[in-house]
Amino acid sequence: MLDQLRAQMAAFLAAHDVCILSTAGAAGAWAMPARYLARGLEVDCLAPRWADVAYQLEQDPRVLLVIPSQISDPSTEPGLSLSKGSGQRFGFRISDEQTAPQSATLRLRSAQASPLVGGTRGGLRWLQIQGTAEPVGAPDWASLLPGWTSAVAPDDLYLVVRVTPARLDLFDERQGWGARETVEM
In the predicted model, what is the mean pLDDT of the chain? Answer: 77
Confidence band, pLDDT 50/70/90 cuts, at residue 179? confident
Mean pLDDT of 82-98: 39
**Number of structural domains in the chain:** 2
- Better-predicted residue by pLDDT, 24 or 113: 24
pLDDT of residue 109: 34
Do 19 and 53 have their domain in common?
yes
pLDDT of residue 70: 61
- Of residues 81, 87, 91, 86, the one with CA closest to residue 101: 86
Do 126 and 177 have their domain in common?
yes
DSSP 8-state symbol, 137: S
- For 62, 92, 93, the CA distances from 102, given in Å and listed in that order, are 58, 15, 11
Do 67 and 126 have their domain in common?
yes
Do 35 and 103 have their domain in common?
no
Do 6 and 66 have their domain in common?
yes
35 is a domain residue: yes
Confidence band, pLDDT 50/70/90 cuts, at residue 117? very low
Confidence band, pLDDT 50/70/90 cuts, at residue 122? low
Percent residues over pLDDT 90 in the chain: 49
Do 6 and 45 have their domain in common?
yes
Residue 37 pLDDT > 90: yes
Residue 155 pLDDT > 50: yes
Find the range with the poorest average confidence among 12-21, 99-108, 118-127: 99-108
Question: Which H or E run includes 33?
Answer: strand 28-39
Q: Decide the pairing of beta strands 62-68 and 18-25.
A: antiparallel
117 is a domain residue: no
83 is a domain residue: yes
Do 105 and 36 have their domain in common?
no
pTM: 0.70
The neighbour count for residue 149, using CB atoms within 10 Å, is 5
Q: Is 155 helix (H, G, I), strand (E, B) or coil?
A: helix
- Better-predicted residue by pLDDT, 24 or 168: 168
| Domain of 143, in residue numbers | 2-72+122-184
Do 11 and 22 have their domain in common?
yes
Do 98 and 143 have their domain in common?
no
- Better-predicted residue by pLDDT, 69 or 115: 69
User: DSSP string spanning 82-110?
Assistant: EEE-S---SS-EE--TTTGGG-EEEEEE-
39 is a domain residue: yes
- Better-predicted residue by pLDDT, 18 or 85: 18
**CB contact at 8 A, 69 and 122:** no
Question: What is the identity of the amino acid at 114?
Answer: S
pLDDT of residue 140: 93
Residue 142 pLDDT > 80: yes
178 conformational bin, left if phi > 0, alpha if psi -120 to 50, beta if neither:
left
Mean pLDDT of 42-50: 94
